[in-house]
Amino acid sequence: GNNALEIFSTQNIPIHIGTNNAVRMTVDGSGIVTKPYQPCFGARGYSGTTTQIGGYNPMLWVNVHTNVGNNFNNSTGKFTFPVSGRYYVECNINLKNTDASWLGLYFLYNTSVQANSWSMNQSNTQYNDTIVSGVVDASANDYCAFCWHNSYIAPAGSSYFNYNYANIFFIG
């Protein structure tokens, strides 16, 4: 038949859905949905690297400003997927350490390269966007990392705080 569970309010009040005595999702009176426990990560300001992953240098960040679920580890540069599903990933390196040099930016899933982007800026300017982004189908407890290629130059360091950033968030 045509069976459905309907949850609605006839008034302009929010609807809360929760587990373990905590609100996990709210639909407000205008239909806006908020999910405060949705896994996500955001950072800016490249600070350095750590132990290589498959020959690539994972990126660490000056400011991890968002880390819902603590899935990103700023000691390893890895984001561990807490649940299976689709995730949006993006990283932009706008400023390199050395003028007129190549930078290779990589997105790794476990140790496998999923995407890469290369750029070489012109002389007398270090600014040139190098971006990897996309949607990845992930399995719980696998990991990903944004890395730079170890045979070429690194992103500019922490004194150029706002030029380099990364984000990952769970879509569903």
Q: What angle do CA 89, 138, 80 make, to 5 degrees?
A: 75
Q: What is the pLDDT of residue 119?
A: 86
Residue type at 160? Y
Q: What is the pLDDT of residue 123?
A: 65
Q: What is the pLDDT of residue 142?
A: 98
In 3D, which of 98, 126, 127, 102 has the Cα closest to residue 116?
102
Q: For residues 103 and 81, what is the distance between their CA atoms, to the nearest angstrom?
A: 27
Q: Which residues contact 14 (CB under 8 A, 6 or more apart)?
A: 26, 27, 28, 29
109 DSSP β-pair partners: 112, 144
DSSP the chain: ---------SSS--EEEEETTEEEEEE-TTS-EE-TT--EEEEEEEEEE-S-BTTEEEEEEEEEEEEETS-EETTTTEEE-SSSEEEEEEEEEEEBSSTT-EEEEEEEETTEEEEEEEEEPPTT--EEEEEEEEEEEE-TT-EEEEEEETTSPPBP-GGGTTSEEEEEEE--
Whose tokens are 């990589």? That residue is: 106
Q: What is the pLDDT of residue 137?
A: 98
Q: Please give the structure tokens belonging to residue 99.
A: 């003028």
Handedness of CA 51, 53, 54, 56 (dihedral sign): negative
Q: Please give the chain's pLDDT, 172 residues, in tens.
A: 577 777 777 888 889 889 899 999 999 988 899 999 999 999 999 999 999 998 999 999 999 999 999 999 999 999 999 999 999 999 998 877 777 778 889 999 999 999 999 888 766 565 678 899 999 999 999 999 999 998 888 888 766 677 899 999 999 9
Phi/psi for 160 (5° steps) reads -110, 60
Q: What is the pLDDT of residue 1?
A: 53
